[in-house]
Amino acid sequence: MSKDKKKESNPKKELSEWQKRNQEYLKKKAEEEAALAEEKEKEKQARMGKNSKSLEESKKSSSDSDQNETVPDEESSEKEEKSKKDDPKVKEEKKKKKEKPEKPAKPKIAPVHIWRAVSILVPSVLVLLLSVYLLTPLSTIKNIDVKGNSNTQADDIKQASGIQDSDYTLALLLDKETYAERIKSNHWIESAKIDYQFPTNFTIEVKEFDIVGYYVSGEEYYPILSSGTVESTPVNRLNLPETYLTVTFNDEQQVKELITGLSTISEDIKSQIQKIELAPSKATADLLKITMLDTDEVLVPLSELSKKLPYYSKIKPQLAEPSVVDMEAGAYSYTIADKLIEEAEEKAKQEAKEAEKKKQEEEKKKQEEQGNQNQTSQQSQSR
């Protein structure tokens, strides 16, 4: 009786639907695994027994085994699929996947927008880099060399250019022509240009005016440039060339007119000129006396220098001895000896005139003194 009561008091708990299904699933899975193991064992034995048979039998056996293999595999796969479908865990996973919202695909950026961004970003970056560069000491570093100067100092040329140590290197690079034009303010410089070599090297290349002659004042020699300018600083006589032209007047306008006239004369004639001086006459105020290296003298008006002086090259072969070529009014020549005689005669005449004039003045003075004496005697008698 006690045993029966205990059995009645502990009745077996009924299984839930999920537990029943789980047990069935586990049972089926165990059966499938056993069937698969058995099939594999059979296959292994069949392959080992058929190795000694012919090729055809092996093919047949292999095809049969493949069929046998596929059938249980298909059956097992179907069973697994069914069991998975019935599995509550699988169902829950499927529900979760369905509940998860799919992430929307990221939209592609159009090329137009990319190019717009690049066109804004690149200039902005360049401006930023330029600003940083201009704020650093690197922006004012400049190495300047001077070439082509022989009569001027490099420092004088740099000073004439107006380039300062504080000037930006970029400003000098972009405005080279303006700085080169300033260098021409130095009266020695005919032309100038500035070349740039990366990164901070600049070369000032200049061309100086030629020295046409020298203005002589006492013992000093002042260069006369091809621009017509007379240098204010004399040169050392030891630095003078072997042959050179000297000028005895320094009037700015007359010197420029002389240089302009000589610029049209051939080098053959210019190389023969030793000295140029003013020798004004009653008829010609700007008459020049040009002394040649062979002691010939040419008289020619400054205003007609470029027109008349070239004729000297045609007259020269006709001169047998040192002569004077007079081009004041026409063009004729006479020897220097004749000139000296003429000058001596002219000097004698001048001296005779001066003596006569002096004699007349003395006589006039005597008459005045005698008149004064007569006047004083008359005044004394009247008293």
CATH number of the domain enclosing 252: 3.40.50.10960
Domain check: are 226 and 333 in the same one? yes
One digit per residue, the tens of pLDDT, for the chain of length 383 reads: 444 444 444 444 567 777 777 788 888 888 888 888 888 888 777 776 655 555 555 555 555 544 444 444 444 555 555 455 455 655 566 555 555 555 566 677 778 777 888 888 888 888 887 778 778 888 889 999 999 999 999 999 999 999 998 999 999 999 999 999 999 999 999 999 999 998 899 999 999 999 999 999 999 999 999 999 999 999 998 889 989 999 999 999 999 999 999 999 999 999 999 999 999 988 899 999 999 999 899 999 999 999 999 999 999 998 888 899 999 888 888 887 777 777 777 787 888 888 888 888 888 887 777 777 777 766 666 65
Q: From CA 59, how far away is CA 61, in angstroms rounded? A: 5
Domain check: are 240 and 155 in the same one? no
Residue 203 located in a structural domain: yes
Using the 3D structure, point to which of 181, 208, 235 is the last residue of a domain: 208
Domain check: are 145 and 238 in the same one? no
Residue for token digits 């049209």?
264
Domain check: are 195 and 256 in the same one? no
Residue for token digits 């410089």?
189
Residue 352 located in a structural domain: no
Taking a C-beta distance cutoff of 8 angstroms, is the pair 216, 246 a contact?
yes
Domain check: are 203 and 220 in the same one? no
The total domain count for the chain is: 2
Domain check: are 293 and 328 in the same one? yes
Residue 365 is classified by DSSP as H
Residue 42 located in a structural domain: no
Domain check: are 242 and 145 in the same one? no
Residue 63 located in a structural domain: no
Domain containing 322: what range?
A: 211-339
Phi, psi values for residue 246, rounded to 5°: -115, 150
* Amino acid, res. 297: E
Domain check: are 327 and 227 in the same one? yes
Domain check: are 271 and 173 in the same one? no
